[in-house]
């Protein structure tokens, strides 16, 4: 009466629903390194190394805990190359009476899984992924009760549900739900930025790195100096280190960008969280505890907790509610190919070059680099959202479609027509100049609006507003921008549009084959 328990590469949690309430003597856990998952987009080398190393460590830990583990390596000669193929081979080997699996993170994998019961002619229990605080159906019930999806209200529900930063009488600690008015200061000179905790590769990681260097040499990104946590123990150490060294300043400098500072006060915990090495509740609870102990101010703890129990849960709910149609959404009818400099970093725009460098070196860029530099530029330039989404899915070590797609299609490209965000996250050079130190040494002049030396974000911004005037003019949150546009002289408006067109003409489209 063997039960076969396939565990996917982003389900590496000892408390996983499929591993609970099972007699280990009657179960086989199946972990599969498969080619299809490594190349459905051509992931960053670091991301593949991270996932394979974490999977191998997790398998060793399970064996240590008394589980029987069937582990399929990428270079096993009989490896069929897909989840379904490997489950089929495991069913033939173990003759299980049923399959027990946790729902996957991605729509395309859910479609595969839904076919398993018929294909293998045994019952397949697909369990809810209760590592998330809000279930898929629970989110849909919340969303159906309202006209528009406002993250802030969802977040309050999650605060009430978890009790995090809540007083005994059900009020938000400090009297306010959201302390963003105290956050988002520009960077200033003299700040000390802590390094995240780095983990030297052990033998397992070194073996995987050699495999990745050999087999995925043509993929984007740098593999050397790999230092990510690959076990739950390491991830917990990284969490403790973050809370001690960076969280106190997280809120204040959450939106800052500084050349050569790749993490600032951000946690760099998303790869471990998304793999399952940490649970969202333990991360948020650790921040709340540090605040309760007097080590972390409320604005920092609240800002951080909102990202985890608010945004992270919200985008996951949105993904499952809006898929599959949202993947092809293109409300702004953008048609431009992705520029080549997203892959090479070869552009004179210093903010873009720096964000691509960080991305290439670490499989990381922090939220404002993703949203207000890389995403903003693509939206202003009218790049096809699906090419932008492919790029984001490839290049970040924390990228899985359930979290990447809503952030790209909804938040950053406004390609869903405003379902996720009521206003496009569009900004000109002035925003980047205020929040970073990039503009001073840049070859472009952030103060100039038009002409060959003007910051390209400026003319592109006005050109974007002009192109989409019919859609956005009546948006109350954009009234100020259109007020300014209206006050510009016609010649100035024409100059903006001509300057944007001239700049866009210089952009080289990406060569084929980087993403898929
Ligand atoms: P911190 O700044 O320390 O924040 C703490 C945690 O909050 C993160 O680890 C993450 O788990 C969560 N979080 C914060 N913002 C978001 C958000 N908008 N959506 C979901 N979780 C959030 N995050 C991913 O995990 N994977 C992605 O593929 C991804 N793609 C993105 C694409 C775009 C265009 C944008 C604008 C954002 C994207 N994000 C993605 C969200 C966010 O940028 C990253 O979670 C964050 O930069 C990870 O770094 P960190 O751990 O240092 O985050
Ligand atoms: C991203 C990824 C990669 C690169 N490789 C594997 C793998 O070999 N085996 C595996 O189980 N999972 C891998 N993953 C993660 C899966 O793509 C992820 O589990 C699904 O997309 C569901 O979210
Ligand atoms: Fe970026 Fe413009 Fe500033 Fe240069 S001047 S760094 S292109 S915002």
CATH of the domain at 107: 3.40.50.620
Atom of ligand 3 nearest to the CA of 443: 4
Q: 60: domain range?
A: 3-127
Ligand nearest to the CA of 87: 2
Cα of 270 vs centre of ligand 1, distance in Å, is 7
231 part of a folded domain: no
Host H or E run for residue 68? strand 68-72
Query: Residue whose CA is closest, atom 2 of ligand 3?
Result: 455
Q: From residue 491, give the alpha-carbon distance in Å to each of 465, 502, 503.
A: 16, 16, 18
Between the CA of 435 and the centroid of ligand 3 the distance, in Å, is 11
Cα 18 from Cα 51, distance rounded (Å): 20
CATH classification at residue 301: 1.25.40.80
Residues 312, 270, single domain; the answer is yes
- pLDDT, residue 191, reads 87
Residues having CB within 6 Å of any atom of ligand 3: 349-351, 429, 432-433, 438-439, 442, 444, 446, 455-457
Per-residue pLDDT of the chain (516 residues; tens, 9 = 90+): 799 999 999 999 999 999 999 999 999 999 999 999 998 999 999 999 999 999 999 999 999 999 999 999 999 999 999 999 999 999 999 999 999 999 999 999 999 999 999 999 999 999 999 999 999 999 999 999 888 889 999 999 999 999 999 999 999 999 999 988 888 899 988 888 999 999 999 999 999 999 999 999 999 999 999 999 999 999 999 999 999 999 999 988 989 999 999 999 999 999 999 999 999 999 999 999 999 999 999 999 999 999 999 999 999 999 999 999 999 999 999 999 999 999 999 999 999 999 999 999 999 999 999 999 999 999 999 999 999 999 999 999 999 999 999 999 999 999 999 999 999 999 999 999 999 999 999 999 999 999 999 999 999 999 999 999 999 999 999 999 999 999 999 999 999 999 999 999 999 999 987 888
Structure tokens at 146: 């309202």
User: pLDDT value at position 513?
Assistant: 76
Same domain, 381 and 439: yes
Ligand nearest to the CA of 430: 3
266 lines ligand 1 (CB under 6 A): yes
Q: Are residues 162 and 310 in the same domain?
A: yes
Place of tokens 């002035």: 430
- The whole-number pLDDT of residue 96 equals 97
**CA of residue 312 to ligand 1 center, whole Å:** 7
Q: Which of 76, 100, 127 represents a domain boundary (last residue)?
A: 127
Ligand 3 test: best mutation among 356, 380, 433, most atoms within 8 Å of CB?
A: 433
Query: What does the alpha-carbon distance between residue 74 and residue 66 come to, in Å, rounded to a whole number?
Result: 24
**Number of domains composing the chain:** 3
Answer yes or no: is 234 within a domain: no
Residue 120 and residue 86 share a domain:
yes
- Asked if residue 353 and residue 457 are part of one domain, the reply reads yes
Pairwise CA distance, residues 91 & 99, whole Å: 9
- 282 and 390 share one domain: no
Closest-lying ligand 1 atom to the alpha carbon of residue 412: 34
DSSP string, 392-441: HHHH-TT--HHHHHIIIIIIIT-TTSSSS-SS-----HHHHHHHBS-TTT
- The residue contributing the CA closest to ligand 3 atom 7 is 349
The per-residue pLDDT for 184 is: 83
Whether 217 maps to a domain, the answer reads: no
> Residue of the nearest CA to atom 14 in ligand 2?
9
Ligand 2 centre to CA of 152 (Å) is 31
Both tokens assigned to 391: 């790029």
Q: Are residues 441 and 489 part of one domain? A: yes
Q: Are residues 430 and 479 in the same domain?
A: yes
Compute, in degrees rounded to 10, the torsion defined by CA atoms 271, 272, 274, 279: -150
Q: Does 206 fall in a domain?
A: no
What residue owns the CA closest to ligand 2's atom 4? Answer: 38
- Whether 23 is covered by a domain: the verdict is yes
pLDDT of 514: 84
**Same domain as 436, residue 291:** no
Pocket mutation for ligand 2, best pick of 9, 72, 315 (most atoms within 8 Å of C-beta): 9
Of 273, 295, 322, the one marking the end of a domain is 322
**Are residues 71 and 111 part of one domain?**
yes
Q: From residue 333, give the alpha-carbon distance in Å to each of 370, 424, 467, 493, 507.
A: 21, 14, 11, 22, 19
- Choose one of 85, 102, 127: the last residue of a domain: 127
Q: Whose CA is nearest to atom 12 of ligand 2?
A: 9
From atom 8 of ligand 3, which residue's Cα is the shortest distance away? 429
CB neighbour class for 122 (10 Å; exposed up to 12, middle 13-18, buried from 19): middle
- 22 plus 59 within the same structural domain: yes
**Which of 407, 408, 409 has most ligand 1 atoms within 8 Å of CB, for mutation?**
407
What is the C-alpha separation between 375 and 421, in angstroms, rounded? 14
Q: Which of 345, 439, 440 to mutate to test the pocket of ligand 3 (most atoms within 8 A of CB)?
A: 439
Query: Is the domain of 292 the same as that of 316?
Result: yes
- The answer to whether residue 335 is domain-embedded is no
Q: Is residue 208 part of a domain?
A: no
Residue 158 Cα to ligand 2 midpoint, Å, equals: 28
Q: Where residue 387 sits, what CATH number does that domain have?
A: 1.10.579.10
Residue 178 in tokens: 């959201």
What is the residue-wise DSSP string for 89-128? HHHHHH--SEEEEEPPSSHHHHHHHHTHHHHHTS-EEEE-
Nearest of 24, 25, 78, 32 to residue 52 by alpha carbon = 32
User: Within a domain: residue 494?
Assistant: yes
């Amino acid at each position: 009466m063997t039960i076969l328990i396939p565990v996917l590469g982003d389900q590496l949690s000892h408390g996983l629903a499929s591993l609970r309430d099972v007699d280990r003597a009657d179960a086989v856990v199946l972990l599969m390194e498969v080619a299809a998952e490594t190349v459905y987009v051509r992931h960053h080398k670091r991301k593949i190394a991270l996932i394979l190393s974490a999977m191998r460590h997790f398998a060793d830990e399970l064996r240590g805990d008394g589980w029987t583990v069937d582990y399929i390596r990428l270079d096993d000669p009989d490896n069929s190359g897909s989840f379904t193929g490997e489950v089929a081979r495991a069913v033939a080997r173990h003759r299980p009476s049923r399959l027990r699996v946790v729902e996957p993170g991605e729509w395309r994998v859910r479609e595969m899984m839904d076919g398993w019961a018929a294909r293998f002619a045994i019952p397949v229990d697909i369990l809810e992924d209760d590592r998330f605080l809000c279930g898929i159906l629970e989110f849909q019930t919340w969303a159906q009760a309202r006209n528009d999806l406002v993250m802030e209200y969802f977040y309050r529900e999650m605060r009430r549900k978890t009790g995090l930063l809540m007083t005994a009488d059900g009020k938000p600690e400090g009297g306010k739900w959201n302390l963003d008015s105290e956050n988002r200061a520009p960077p200033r000179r003299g700040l000390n930025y802590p390094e995240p905790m780095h983990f030297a590769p052990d033998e397992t990681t070194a073996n995987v790195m050699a495999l990745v260097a050999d087999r995925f040499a043509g993929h984007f990104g740098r593999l050397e100096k790999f230092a990510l946590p690959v076990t739950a123990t390491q991830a917990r150490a990284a969490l403790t280190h973050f809370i001690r060294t960076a969280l106190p300043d997280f809120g204040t400098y959450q939106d800052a960008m500084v050349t050569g500072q790749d993490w600032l006060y951000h946690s760099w915990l998303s790869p471990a969280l998304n793999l399952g090495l940490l649970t969202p509740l333990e991360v948020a609870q650790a921040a709340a505890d540090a605040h309760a102990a007097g080590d972390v101010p409320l604005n920092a703890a609240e800002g951080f907790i909102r990202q985890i129990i608010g945004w992270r849960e919200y985008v996951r709910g949105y993904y499952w509610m809006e898929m599959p149609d949202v993947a092809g959404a293109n409300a702004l009818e953008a048609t431009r190919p992705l520029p080549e400099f997203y892959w090479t970093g070869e552009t004179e725009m210093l903010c873009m070059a720096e964000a691509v460098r960080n991305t290439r070196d670490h499989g990381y860029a922090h939220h404002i680099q993703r949203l207000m530099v890389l995403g903003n530029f693509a939206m202003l330039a009218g790049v096809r959202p699906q090419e932008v989404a492919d790029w984001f899915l490839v290049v970040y070590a924390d990228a899985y479609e359930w979290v990447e797609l809503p952030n790209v299609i909804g938040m950053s490209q406004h390609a869903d027509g405003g379902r996720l965000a009521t206003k496009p996250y569009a900004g000109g050079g002035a925003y980047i100049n205020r929040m970073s130190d990039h503009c001073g040494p840049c070859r472009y002049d952030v103060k100039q609006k038009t002409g060959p030396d003007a910051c390209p974000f400026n003319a592109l911004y006005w050109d974007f507003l002009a192109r989409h005037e019919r859609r956005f003019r009546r948006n109350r949150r954009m009234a100020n921008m259109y007020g300014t546009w209206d006050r510009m002289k016609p010649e100035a408006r024409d100059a903006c549009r001509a300057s944007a067109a001239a700049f866009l003409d210089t952009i080289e489209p990406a060569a084929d084959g980087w993403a898929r």
